[in-house]
Amino acid sequence: FLKLGLTSFGGPIAHLGYFRDELVIRRRWIDEAGYADLVALCQFLPGPASSQVGFALGLLRGGLAGALAAFTAFTLPSAVLLVVFAMGATAFGGPVGGGLLHGLKLVAVAVVAQAVWGMARSLTPDRERASIALAAVLIVVFSGSAAGQMTAIALGGITGLVLCRTDCAGLAPRLAFRLPPGTGFVGLALFLVLLAGLPLASAASGWQGLA
């Protein structure tokens, strides 16, 4: 994960492609179907999907310690570089800095496109799932809002339940997480406390970083 954290460029979608190449195809930590299920679950949850997928893969491989190690190793390099770039942001002014940033954006587009194309073949292997994916793209593109994203997720789940039920019937669970009893309830409670508490703490302290 440290290697991926140092070499993965292009944002969350590209990261998912790198994870697939390194951990699914090369190392075979999980099969294609299980990885697709994991990606779908993390895309449904709020927050960065690539960090969640990395955390979950570490959890599958090494329990809670593996999850924390994977999250730290993958996230820390980009966090350090972001701080360094922010400190030197004033040096990137003018035509040279603008051209450099524009070039990086173009490279990021190519990386993301390659990742999407590579994963599309495994996530949409038939006409039904390809149709669901196309409909979701159209909804998200033309809505341009968070409501459109939630609508695409909800409609995709309902449509998949109707059209793809026979394909999933009888499949054994692929994601067998080994966690102490009650871990899920503790995590859910902590999520709800932070969701409600951080905005209140931000309003009380005046520190917008908590919101």
pLDDT tens digits for the chain (211 residues)? Answer: 888 888 877 778 778 888 888 888 899 888 887 888 888 888 888 888 888 999 999 988 888 899 999 999 998 888 888 788 777 666 666 676 677 777 777 777 777 777 777 777 777 877 888 888 889 889 988 887 778 888 888 888 888 878 776 655 444 456 667 777 788 888 889 888 888 888 888 888 877 766 6
**Residue 82's CB: how many other CB atoms inside 10 A?**
10
* 60 DSSP assignment: H
Report the C-alpha gap between 72 and 134 in whole angstroms.
34
| Two tokens, residue 1 | 């994960």
8 Å CB contact between 175 and 60: yes
- 3-class state of residue 86 by DSSP: helix
